[in-house]
Amino acid sequence: MPRLKSQTFVCEVLFADDAASSHTEDELQQLMNRLFHACKRFGLAISLKKTKVMAQGTECVEGASINKYSLDAVTDFTYFGSTISSSLCIHSEINTRIAKAVGVMSKLSQRLWNNSTLSKRTTLHVYQACVLITLLYSSDLDHLRKASEATE
């Protein structure tokens, strides 16, 4: 006897730290319901405490839930190392990147900045590899490669 195949389609929801996209609160709730039922059907669990809702360019979303659990609404979160904001501005992202780069600079002070035995070329390469990469995470780094080639 042939086995019946079952398919479940959840539109625009990816798994493991990805996002659901909708244009209205009703669409979002429908996506959450589909996700819940698909996960339940295949024995998967959704981490409800880690699942958040954020509206961009509009007022905060209220009332989104999964299986009667109200999801928390947030104004910003970190996604793959970048800060995403509901206000669509990048101030938080820039401040976070600057703070991380300052932290790297601080950690390098004794071994790099205060080390008179290292050449300026070595210091520059370490600066580019550690500090600028941290500051410009996921930005176009062609200018860094060109600067590095110019010092060789």
* Per-residue pLDDT reduced to its tens digit, 98-140: 998 999 999 888 788 888 888 989 988 998 888 888 888 766 5
* C-beta of residue 63 within 8 angstroms of C-beta of residue 42: no
Q: How many DSSP H helices and E strands does the chain contain?
A: 5, 6
Q: Which residues contact 40 (CB under 8 A, 6 or more apart)?
A: none
Q: What integer pLDDT is reported at residue 57 of this predicted model? A: 74
pTM to 2 decimal places: 0.54
Please give the Cα distance from 121 to 36 (Å, whole number): 55
pLDDT in tens, 10-58: 544 444 445 566 777 888 888 888 888 888 888 888 888 888 888 877 7
Do residues 86 and 55 lie in contact, with contact meaning Cβ atoms separated by under 8 Å?
yes
